[in-house]
Structure 1
Amino acid sequence: MRLFRAFRGEQSDRDRFYRILADDSARQVASYAPLAGATVLDVGGGPGYFSEAFSAAGATYLGLDRDRRELSARGTRDERMILASGTDLPVSTGSVDICFSSNVLEHVDRPWRMLAEMVRVTKRGGTVFVSFTPWWSPWGGHETSPWHFLGGHYARNRYLRRHGAEPKNRFGESLFPVGVGPALRWARNCEEVTLVHALPRYHPWWATWIVRIPLVREIASWNLALVLRKR
């Protein structure tokens, strides 16, 4: 409920929302792998909220983002953030303890390539934690929601007509349809990892069953988190 209330003000008070989200993310990851002394790579870390949260938990943090504007969205660029692409990570194979990504996968035109890269850079026995907004969820179209249910291009064009400007997340350019089912299949078929947990990230513990129900999970999950262990 705390996350949901903060999310309602995501546009008006971004700083508060992303601080709460980053702190919650660090706690979630810590429930699967110790953060103290761990090397964490954050794929799509943006302006540095996650940098602060993971560093405060004792991790050695490195984040990257391909968008220069996101890196400096808070006015100054966090020294632990670099400009790079999630589909071609400039990181050595098997070099990080934890590879993390929050709400980035749906913004990548090759999401499975990004997941494969995250697995590649993680050490054996290490943890990959990735979450994203499923396309058919209520927020799948981001600021063009709920019109994305009628098609991504329709929703994008409608936003342009109403606001006189393109949405920040442009379907086909910086927003792509990624589903729960395909993500689960990728995780289960990847020979390099074991799927530890798949859960609706913002739901209470008793609602995790949603991920097991085809079709329902695409709409009701809101945000899917995959926890993978490198073999």
Structure 2
Amino acid sequence: MLALVERTVPGVRPAALRFVARRATFARSLGLLTSFPLEQSDPEVFYRGLARDTRELLDDLHRGVRGESARLAGSTVLDVGGGPGYFRDEFAGAGAWYVAVEPDTRELSAAGIEHRDVVRGSGMELPFATDSIDICFSSNVAEHVPQPWTLAEEMLRVTRPGGIVVLSYTLWYGPFGGHEMGLTHYLGGARAARMYERKHGHRPKNYFGTSLFKVGCAEGLRWARSADAEGRARFLAGFPRYHPWWAWWCTRVPGMREVAVSNLVLVLEKTAKGEN
């Protein structure tokens, strides 16, 4: 399997994915796909499932980089865009020291969960010291900020040398790029927002140009490769988050990947200056 992965993912060190690939089955993909429409109607099911999958993803990546015996327990994990609190339970259960950054108080109170270890702040200006975090991740946040690569740079800044950065985000031209606006985003973001408002009588939660922005696959890969080329990080892998491993090849195909990848995961290991 690993030999096939090496030929399909565009990252330079795909061995980091050996544990992720074992879990990236069609059954997992189907389960996640069927939960996506429940985000607003049944957030308990959607977010708990997504939180569990995220914890498993980070555990797999951590073992892929550090070795099979490595575990999240004892690691400092920063969640950029922690949302309503489901992720904390997952990581605390794994023994990690978890802290989240969330700018929107409405998101914090959305599930009625008691919040601990949450800092109110912006992902584009993280309120943490440089080189202070073991694992920094962001799940489905980059498409909601106007400067996604500023967010990515901030994640890299606060991560310690040898630590891991995992940035996962929804691609605008993928089928879920419009979020609750459905496929109408292919008609244009502003038009899709107006269509949603006319149909439902209120603005969508994710309003184009305010809380939802176009972000693509190629630009994410460019940022990761640039960080690698400049010696600031090792680019370990870029792959579709929700696809089975045998479909990861689509990340390599320009144009097609903007639609087919749907959600891109970028994995980097921070280096000491000049180490890469």
Same fold, judged at TM 0.5 (above): yes
Name the counterpart of 2:50. 21
Aligned 8 A contact 2:81 2:101 in 1: yes
User: What is the CA-CA distance between 1:47 and the residue it aligns to?
Assistant: 1.1
Q: Does 1:9 align with 2:38?
A: yes
Equivalent residue in structure 1 for 2:259, among 188, 210, 219: 219
Q: Does 1:203 align with 2:239?
A: no
Aligned 8 A contact 1:86 1:117 in 2: yes
Name the counterpart of 1:193. 233
Determine helix, strand or coil for the equivalent of 2:38: coil
- Deviations along 1:4-51, one digit per CA (max 9) or x if unpaired, are 222233332110111111111111111121311100000001111111
User: What is the CA-CA distance between 1:122 and the residue it aligns to?
Assistant: 0.1
Name the counterpart of 2:108. 71
Determine helix, strand or coil for the equivalent of 2:269: strand
Name the counterpart of 2:131. 94
User: What is the CA-CA distance between 1:149 and the residue it aligns to?
Assistant: 0.7
* Separation in 1, partners of 2:202, 2:42: 22
Name the counterpart of 1:52. 89
More RCO (CA 8 Å, sep 6+) = 2
Equivalent residue in structure 2 for 1:109, among 119, 138, 146: 146
Q: What is the count of residue pairs matched by the alignment? A: 231
Name the counterpart of 1:36. 73
* Separation in 2, partners of 1:56, 1:67: 25
Give the percent of matched residue pairs that are identical in Structure 1 and Structure 2. 52
* Separation in 1, partners of 2:116, 2:200: 35
Name the counterpart of 1:229. 269
Determine helix, strand or coil for the equivalent of 2:213: coil
C-alpha RMSD of matched pairs (Å): 1.0
Instruction: Report the AA paired with residue 147 of structure 2.
Output: R
**Is there any run of 5+ residues in structure 1 with no aligned partner, and where?**
none
Determine helix, strand or coil for the equivalent of 2:78: strand
User: What is the CA-CA distance between 1:76 and the residue it aligns to?
Assistant: 3.8
Report the TM-score, using the length of structure 2 for normalisation: 0.82
Name the counterpart of 2:178. 141
Aligned 8 A contact 2:138 2:168 in 1: yes
Determine helix, strand or coil for the equivalent of 1:129: strand
Q: Does 1:173 align with 2:210?
A: yes
Name the counterpart of 2:26. none
User: What is the CA-CA distance between 1:75 and the residue it aligns to?
Assistant: 1.6
Indicate the structure with greater helix content.
2
Aligned 8 A contact 2:240 2:265 in 1: yes
User: What is the CA-CA distance between 1:155 and the residue it aligns to?
Assistant: 0.6
**Is there any run of 5+ residues in structure 2 with no aligned partner, and where?**
1-29, 63-70, 272-276
- Deviations along 1:45-74, one digit per CA (max 9) or x if unpaired, are 111111111111111000011000001111
* Separation in 2, partners of 1:141, 1:38: 35
Determine helix, strand or coil for the equivalent of 2:176: coil
